[in-house]
Amino acid sequence: MKKVISYGDPAHYVTHLHVTRECVDNPYAQEIIERANLPVTILEDGTLPDIPGTYPENLTQGKHHLLLCKHRGVFFKPCPGTREYTCCGYQVLNIGMNCPMDCVYCILQAYLNNPWLSFCVNVEDMLAELDNVLLNQPEQFYRIGTGEFTDSLAIDSLTGLSSRLIRYMNDKSNAVLELKTKCNIIKQLKDVPHNGRTVVAWSLNSPIIMAKEELRTATLDERLEAASQVAEWGYHLAFHFDPIIKHDNWQQGYRETIRRLFEAVPADKIAWISMGALRYLPSLKNIATERFPTSTFFYEEFINGLDNKYRYFRPERVSMYQFILGELRKYAADRTCIYFCMESREIWQEVFGYTPEEHGGLPKMLDRSVS
């Protein structure tokens, strides 16, 4: 097995800030600039960070650069699921794009077209948009996540956004916030009043996948130690086995991770655990294999799914899911919702023995785990 390396704070990979001219006097941008203490380039209207090369070849270099900008679109919108697979009803809060960590399988490589990281500093507009939804629709329950287009905590030591969002969510009875990460930067979460309205989540995988295919991420021990700590601070926890990747001795790898997970954290603190087998856009294979030529899992056999993403053949997915579900059920609390991310009703029936509709639908199943 590849030697496990501790990379530390992924925000340390950022070595240069870029700030759009309209954001130079923004108090939040100034706060980040002061905290980062890095070289700063002011970008005039219509200009973008100048990263040598073309995308995606310059993606590795681009991850050193963070753009502070104003988001002009909608911050808050439903997760872009597909009708063909069961979606959990997640709501995405877009705080920025890209991540200083570098997972071989990361779909953002094929989804984005700029190599740098970006972060939206007009947070007042973000919170006003949330107010408009949460306060005007009190009968609707929302599970909100910031980890769709970036890692929720990867540059939090620079931005300090998580504590602002946790405080905002503290009194919102019709919503919970999920902060999803692969790092262990959590000290800023201590002593923040959260009132149980924030779930801190970690993506987990087989140890060899975490060591070989998830560059600049926290080790398994670091993630579990961080999870144990935030549990002591009263936060709900969640874990995501996604993507599940077929590899030599995969059963042993996932069994070990699951065992160590439940040795590290109290089972009754875990709100939900998701499973999702590797799936990827057709364009990702060429990008990832060129950037990471030693990785081999893209050369397995796949089928083009109903969402135009490549997936393992159904029997392989079912076999992996049944094994991992069996291991999780050895330890998980009855209240913890174990579920699929973007799988068909047929797979649900074959693995779980029921479909989400029999329990009120997947969104309701997840809502009950934190209500």
H-type alpha helices, the chain:
27-36, 59-62, 108-111, 123-134, 156-159, 161-169, 207-213, 220-232, 250-264, 282-291, 314-329, 345-352, 362-368
Helix-helix angle 250-264:314-329, to 10 degrees = 30
pTM metric for this prediction: 0.96
For residue 83, what pLDDT is reported? 60
DSSP string, 232-292: HTT-EEEEEEEEE---TTHHHHHHHHHHHHHHHS-GGGEEEEEEEE-EE-HHHHHHHHHH-
Six token digits for residue 46: 């219509």
Segment 110-153, tens digit of pLDDT: 999 999 999 999 999 999 999 999 999 999 999 999 999 999 99
Dist. CA 219–CA 66, nearest whole Å:
24
Q: Put residue 287 in one of left, alpha, beta given phi > 0 → left and psi -120 to 50 → alpha.
A: alpha
Q: Taking a C-beta distance cutoff of 8 angstroms, is the pair 276, 339 a contact?
A: no
Nearby residues of 367 by Cβ (< 8 Å), 6 or more positions away: 141, 143
Return d(Cα 227, Cα 232) in angstroms, integer.
9
**pLDDT at residue 1, as a whole number:** 45
Q: What is the Cα–Cα distance from 299 to 283, expressed in whole angstroms?
A: 14
Q: What is the pLDDT of residue 77?
A: 86
Helix (H/G/I), strand (E/B), else coil: 175: strand
* Per-residue model confidence (pLDDT) at position 85: 66
Identify any residues that bridge with 66 across adjacent strands, giving them in sequence order: 17, 117
What is the model's pLDDT at position 141? 94
Q: Where are the domains of the chain?
A: 70-368
User: Are 190 and 233 contacting, i.e. CB atoms less than 8 angstroms apart?
Assistant: yes
User: Residue 6 has what pLDDT?
Assistant: 74
The CATH fold assigned to 70-368 is pyruvate-formate lyase- activating enzyme (3.80.30)
Question: Which positions of the chain have pLDDT values less than 50?
Answer: 1-2
Which residues does 232 contact at the CB level (< 8 Å), separation at least 6? none
